[in-house]
Structure 1
Amino acid sequence: MKHLTVLVPDIQTGPNTLSCIIGAYHIFTEANNYCIRQNKNPVFTIELAGVSGQSNFVNGLLSVMPQKEINSIEKTDLIIIPAILAAFKKVEGGNVLLVDWILEHYKKGAEVASMCTGAYILASTGLLDKKSCSIHWNAAANFKQLFPKVNLKAEKLITDEQGIYTNGGGYSFLNLIIYLVEKYYDRQTAIYCSKVFQIDLDRQTQSDFVIFNGQKTHGDEVVVKAQEYIEKNFTEKISMEELSSKFTVGRRNFDRRFIKATGNTPVEYLQRVKIESAKKELETSRKTINEVMYEVGYADVKAFREVFRKITGLSPLEYKNKYNKTGSAALI
């Protein structure tokens, strides 16, 4: 039987830390029970492990007492890292010991899966350098600054590379668990768990959940002013040549500084601002797709659809049908 370690951090924790721990333990336990009912051997011995005898969550309202101290586990096959606080700057406290322990056991052959902002702990090991990683879209800008060597894929729901798994934000960690159940058990067990826990099977993206807010804490005042100009005038035709001239910066240098500060080119930033405005209109109004398109500054239906799908993973009509409950979506 394989060994599954669900880590219990003792610091930098939040409400979702506990959700991830309980969710992983519950679903993998049910997968084992399903195997037994099918006259098969359970796949995992499941243990919660930490660096202290008790970890407190939600301002001490709830506590978890790990079954094992991490150094007492000589071998494990799969390590689950739960979410931690998104206001992450560097690994602290007992989490430093968790980082060292994860790195040691990965080198021994264990696979590692991080849930949501658990990617901060995983990235602190160095194992994510030059590898793909997903994280909650709201933590993406901070993560990029702290771990520039990681190939961040915030639009992805799940990444899977060289025995390292990551997933997007919130309760999408449930999708990662189902993914791992299929990988370690089989498709039939994954389908069973998805039905019992009512989790969408085979969901691949978190793009349509993203709420775009331009990152302005980067310290480049010229770029902040350019962002504010774009956000105020996005419905108009904006020339990036004229915009860079407006702030007396050469175009190539302007693009370079903009990418460094925001993670987007100026053109991409403008597109995201336009699409975020379009999303809000599609969610709340009875306007047609064409009306919304024109309001946010697009005149070409094909171009609007392509950019909208690239950013959200859905067509404008699919998005409206999914999120607007004021009435049926209007066709173009």
Structure 2
Amino acid sequence: MKKISILVPEDAVLASIDDPRMMFAGVNEFLLASGREPMFQIELVGMTSSVALHGGRFTVHTDRLLHEVERTDLIFIPALIGDMQEALQKNAQMLPWLREQYAKGAELVSLCIGAFLLASTGLLNGKKCSTHWRSANDFRIMFPEIDLVDDTIITEEQGLYTSGGANSYWNLLVYLVEKMAGRPMAITAAKVYAIEIERKSQSPFIMFNGQKGHSDEPVRLAQEFIEKNVGDKISVEELATRFAIGRRNFERRFKKATNNTPIEYIQRVKIEAAKKGLENGRKNVSEVMYEVGYADTKSFRSIFKKITGLSPADYRNKYNKEAIL
């Protein structure tokens, strides 16, 4: 029987503690119902015997304290809430325990912005990681040595798993069920919990908000210029000249400050504006395309799909109520 330890950190999101418990307890129930033995022993593990969450509105009682767990197979790290620096300080005691258990063979799973706690162990350095797209900029600043892939729902590398934002971690839970209990059980779990199986990207949900938490003033001004002139055709050469920086130096500084090349940034700003145009009102795809400065339908559709994972028409049909009528 596999041992599953679900961490109960300070400042954790309650749902991301109970959801993995419910998923794997559910798998045990499905197995029993089919005449088989349960596969998982599930425990809540914390630094104290009870942890108050969400401003004291809820209290979670743990089954074991960290030092009482000698060895486990799978550890879930739930999402955290509030100021990440403060949350990490409150839970610093968990870091050596996580490193110790990983060294003993345990696999570690972060859900949503639980990735900040997993990243703080140092185990993700040089590896791919996902987290909620809203936290991507802060994550890159705090952990530049980690390869953040914020459009991806699931990453797996050397026994370390991470998931995208919010409820997308259910896809990681189903993925782990399939890995441990087989495809038929994963399909059963997906159907019982109404999860869209095989969803791999959180791109359709991302709202682009350019990284401006840097100290490169000309780059910040260039970002603002791009955002204020979304309907214009803007070249990298024009931007470099406008802010009196050589093109190669401008591109290097822009990439370093924003984690996007200037071309990528221009595309993402235009596509974000296009998304808003498609979400609201009765404008068709061509009208929105022209408003954000594209004249080539094929190019617009290609870039839109690359960034959002959907075609412009599919995106409009998905998010615009008037398009459905």
Under TM normalisation by the shorter chain, which class is it?
A: over 0.9
Q: Percent identity?
A: 49
Correspondent of 1:136 among 110, 132, 152: 132
Q: In the alignment, which residue of structure 1 is the partner of 2:278?
A: 282
Q: Does 1:194 align with 2:190?
A: yes
Aligned-partner Cα distance in 2 for 1:132–1:282: 32
CA deviations 1:223-282 (Å, max 9, x no partner) are 111111000112111121121111111111111111111111111111001000100111
| Pairing 1:312–2:308 present | yes
CA contact (8 A) 1:8 1:66 kept: yes
Is 1:9–2:5 an aligned residue pair? no
Map of 1:210-289 to 2, 5 A cutoff?
A: 210-289=206-285
Per the normalisation by structure 1, the TM-score is 0.95
Asked if 1:60 corresponds to 2:56, the answer is: yes
Displacement of 1:93 in angstroms is 4.0
Letter in 2 for 1:247: F
Alignment-derived partner of residue 172 in structure 2: 176
Letter in structure 1 aligned against 2:320: N
SS in 2 for 1:96: coil
How far off its partner does 1:36 sit?
1.2
CA contact (8 A) 1:129 1:149 kept: yes
Post-superposition Cα deviations, 1:103-145, rounded to whole Å, max 9, x if no partner, equal 1111111111100100001111111111111110010011011
Q: 1:295 aligns with which of 291, 294, 300?
A: 291
Question: How many angstroms does 1:300 deviate by?
Answer: 0.8
Counting matched residue pairs gives: 325
CA contact (8 A) 1:32 1:43 kept: yes
- Separation of aligned partners in 2, 1:93 and 1:147: 15
Q: Which amino acid aligns with 1:250?
A: G
Per the alignment, in what secondary structure is the counterpart of residue 237 of structure 1?
Answer: coil
Q: CA–CA distance in 2 between the matches of 1:23 and 1:50?
A: 17
1:66: how far off? 0.8
- 8 Å CA contact 1:282–1:292 kept in 2: the answer is yes
TM-score (norm 2): 0.97
Gaps of 5+ in 2: none
Q: Structure 2 CA distance, aligned partners of 1:304 and 1:134? A: 27
The secondary structure found in structure 1 opposite 2:59 is strand
**1:27-66 Cα shifts (integer Å, max 9, x gaps):** 1101011111112221110000000121111111111111
Distance 1:325 1:93 in 2: 44
| Residues in 2 aligned to 1:287 and 1:87: alpha-carbon distance in whole angstroms | 40
Question: Partner amino acid for 2:114?
Answer: G
What RMSD, in angstroms, separates the aligned Cα atoms of the two structures?
1.4
Compared CA separation, residues 89 and 220, structure 1 to 2 (3 A): farther
| Whole-Å separation in 1 of the counterparts to 2:262 and 2:88 | 36
Local SS of the residue matching 1:326: helix
8 Å CA contact 1:154–1:168 kept in 2: the answer is yes
Q: How far apart are 1:285 and its partner, in Å?
A: 2.1
CA distance in 1, matches of 2:308, 2:44: 36
1:269-328: CA deviation from partner (whole Å, max 9, x where unpaired)? 110010001001111122111111111101111111111011101111111111111034
Kindly state the Cα deviation for residue 91 of structure 1 after the two structures are TM-superposed: 6.1
Instruction: Give the drift of 1:195.
Output: 1.5
